[in-house]
Amino acid sequence: MLGRVNHIAIAVPDLAAAAASYRDTLGAAVSQPQALPEHGVTVVFVELPNTKVELLQPLGQNSPIAAFLEKNPSGGMHHICYEVEDILLARDRLIEAGARVLGDIKPKTGAHGKPVLFLHPKDFFGTLIELEQV
């Protein structure tokens, strides 16, 4: 079911500082910050040869990462995104296997304009999983 790792998302309290750290200390190519109000985050993309890292900072009220940063004030790995070929097929197989799909279980349009779903971290060893149809 799972394909490539599409991205790894890291929630950070200070996006400019995190982007500078990835650029200057780790020597990675980083994008300009992009505000994604419909997702409640501002994101910087770190482009790597085999995948991307997304640095996320809360944007606006009700950001989905605000509670995470309250618990992890210096930041932390928020989710890992795996690619799937058919998100509805993947969803139905996961539900049949007893996994919990977050929200109303309908795929939403993710940060890259593709359908995404999130799986409950308690079902997958404490890791929030995003599935993205590619």
List the catalytic residues. 130
Q: Of 9 and 101, which has the nearer Cβ to Co ion? A: 9
Closest approach of Co ion to the CB of residue 14, in Å: 20
Interface with Co ion, residue 81, by CB under 5 A: yes
Q: Of 91 and 96, which has the nearer Cβ to Co ion? A: 91
As a whole number of angstroms, the distance between CA 116 and CA 110 comes to 6
Q: Of 24 and 109, which has the nearer Cβ to Co ion? A: 109
Count of residues in contact with Co ion, rule CB under 5 A = 3
Write phi, then psi, for 116 (nearest 5 degrees).
-135, 155
Closest approach of Co ion to the CB of residue 54, in Å: 6
Which listed residue (87, 90, 130, 131) binds Co ion by CB under 5 A?
130
Closest approach of Co ion to the CB of residue 120, in Å: 15
Closest approach of Co ion to the CB of residue 39, in Å: 9
As a whole number of angstroms, the distance between CA 12 and CA 54 comes to 10
Interface with Co ion, residue 9, by CB under 5 A: yes
* Cα 10–chain centre separation: 8
Long-range contacts of 56-61, Cβ-Cβ distance < 8 Å, separation of 24 or more? 56/9, 56/10, 56/11, 56/12, 56/15, 57/11, 57/12, 57/13, 57/14, 57/15, 57/18, 57/33, 58/11, 59/35
Binding site for Co ion (CB under 5 A): 9, 81, 130
